Structure 1
Amino acid sequence: MADTMVESDLVVRGGKRIDWIRSRMRLLAGVRAEFEREKPFAGLSIGVSLHLEPKTAVLLEVLKAGGAAIVGTGNHGSTQDDIVAVLRAQGMNLFGKRDDDLQQHLANVAKVVAAKPDILLDNGADLVALAIEAGTEATIRGGTEETTSGGDRLRGELAGKVPFPVIVINDSPLKQIAENRHAVGQSIVESFMRITNLMIPGRRFVVVGYGWCGRGIAQYLDALGGRVAVVETDAIKALEAALDGHRVGTAEDLAAWGEVFITATGRPGVLGAKAIAGMRSGAVLANSGHFPWEIDVAALRAQAVGSQLVDDSLERIELADGRHVVLVADGRMFNLAGREPKGNSIESMDIGFMLQALSLARVAGAGRTGLVPGAQPVPDDINQTIARRMVAEMGAHL
Structure 2
Amino acid sequence: MKDYILKDINLADEGKQRIEWARRHMPVLGKIKEQFEKEKPLEGINVVACLHVTVETANLIYAMKAGGANIALAASNPLSTQDDVAAALASEGIKTFAIKGMNEKQYYECLEEALKIKPHVTLDDGADTIALVHSKHQDLIKNIKGGCEETTTGVIRLRAMAADGALKYPVIAVNDAETKMMFDNRYGTGQSTLHGIMNATNILFAGKTIVVAGYGWCGRGVASRARGLGGNVVVVEVEPRKALEAVMDGYRVMPMKEAAKIGDLFITVTGDISVLRKEHFQVMKDQAVVCNSGHFNVEINIPDLARLAKKVSQIKNDVQEYAMKDGRRIYILAEGRLVNLASAFGHPPEVMDMSFANQALAVKLIAEKGDTLENQVYKVPPEVDSMVAKLKLDSMGIEIETLTEEQDKYLHSWTMGT
| TM-score of the pair, normalised by structure 1 | 0.96
From the superposition, tell whether residues 250 and 120 of structure 1 become closer, same or farther in structure 2 (CA, over 3 Å).
same
Deviation at 1:283, TM superposition (A): 0.5
- Residues 265-304 of structure 1 aligned to structure 2 (within 5 Å): 265-304=270-309
- 2:120 equivalent among 108, 118, 121: 118
- 1:259 equivalent among 244, 264, 287: 264
- 1:359 equivalent among 362, 368, 372: 362
2:243 pairs with 1:242: no
Larger mean CA deviation between 71-80 and 117-126 belongs to 71-80
How many angstroms apart in 2 are the aligned matches of 1:270 and 1:81? 31
Deviation at 1:9, TM superposition (A): 3.6
- Residues 6-85 of structure 1 aligned to structure 2 (within 5 Å): 7=8, 9-75=10-76, 76-85=78-87
Give the conservation status (yes or no) of the 8 Å contact 2:260–2:281: yes
How many angstroms apart in 2 are the aligned matches of 1:372 and 1:326? 46
Aligned residues: 390
Aligned residue for 2:167? 162
Q: Classify the secondary structure of the residue corresponding to 1:24.
A: coil
Q: Which runs of 5+ in 2 are unaligned?
A: 1-6, 401-418
Aligned residue for 1:345? 348
Q: Classify the secondary structure of the residue corresponding to 1:156.
A: helix
How many angstroms apart in 2 are the aligned matches of 1:206 and 1:331? 15
Q: Classify the secondary structure of the residue corresponding to 2:303.
A: helix
How many angstroms apart in 2 are the aligned matches of 1:99 and 1:313? 11
- Residues 149-188 of structure 1 aligned to structure 2 (within 5 Å): 149-157=153-161, 159=163, 160-188=165-193
From the superposition, tell whether residues 103 and 27 of structure 1 become closer, same or farther in structure 2 (CA, over 3 Å).
same
Aligned residue for 1:142? 146
- Residues 206-225 of structure 1 aligned to structure 2 (within 5 Å): 206-225=211-230
Deviation at 1:7, TM superposition (A): 4.2
Give the conservation status (yes or no) of the 8 Å contact 2:141–2:168: yes
How many angstroms apart in 1 are the aligned matches of 2:287 and 2:150? 34
How many angstroms apart in 1 are the aligned matches of 2:371 and 2:200? 45
Q: Which amino acid aligns with 1:120?
A: T
Aligned residue for 1:310? 315
Give the conservation status (yes or no) of the 8 Å contact 1:113–1:130: no
Deviation at 1:157, TM superposition (A): 4.3
How many angstroms apart in 2 are the aligned matches of 1:39 and 1:251? 51
Deviation at 1:112, TM superposition (A): 2.3
How many angstroms apart in 2 are the aligned matches of 1:381 and 1:110? 35
Give the conservation status (yes or no) of the 8 Å contact 2:193–2:340: yes
Aligned residue for 1:380? 382
Q: Which amino acid aligns with 1:197?
A: N
Deviation at 1:333, TM superposition (A): 0.4
Deviation at 1:85, TM superposition (A): 0.8
From the superposition, tell whether residues 301 and 7 of structure 1 become closer, same or farther in structure 2 (CA, over 3 Å).
closer
Q: Which amino acid aligns with 2:80?
A: S
How many angstroms apart in 1 are the aligned matches of 2:126 and 2:8? 29
Give the conservation status (yes or no) of the 8 Å contact 1:129–1:158: no
Q: Which amino acid aligns with 1:349?
A: M
* Ranges of 4+ aligned residues in structure 1 off by more than 4 Å: none
Give the conservation status (yes or no) of the 8 Å contact 2:179–2:354: yes
How many angstroms apart in 1 are the aligned matches of 2:117 and 2:275? 36
Deviation at 1:114, TM superposition (A): 3.6
Q: Classify the secondary structure of the residue corresponding to 2:261.
A: coil
Give the conservation status (yes or no) of the 8 Å contact 2:266–2:290: yes
Q: Which amino acid aligns with 1:229?
A: V
Structure with greater Cα Rg: 2
How many angstroms apart in 2 are the aligned matches of 1:141 and 1:19? 32
Summarize deviations over 1:286-324 as a string: whole Å, max 9, x none. Answer: 000010000001111111111111112001111112111
Deviation at 1:158, TM superposition (A): 5.5
Summarize deviations over 1:38-75 as a string: whole Å, max 9, x none. Answer: 11110111001000011100110110010001112112
Summarize deviations over 1:208-254 as a string: whole Å, max 9, x none. Answer: 00000000100011111110000000001000111111111111111
Give the conservation status (yes or no) of the 8 Å contact 1:355–1:383: yes
| RMSD, aligned α-carbons | 1.2
| TM-score of the pair, normalised by structure 2 | 0.91
Aligned residue for 2:238? 233
From the superposition, tell whether residues 96 and 190 of structure 1 become closer, same or farther in structure 2 (CA, over 3 Å).
closer
How many angstroms apart in 1 are the aligned matches of 2:371 and 2:272? 30
Deviation at 1:372, TM superposition (A): 2.9
How many angstroms apart in 2 are the aligned matches of 1:174 and 1:24? 16
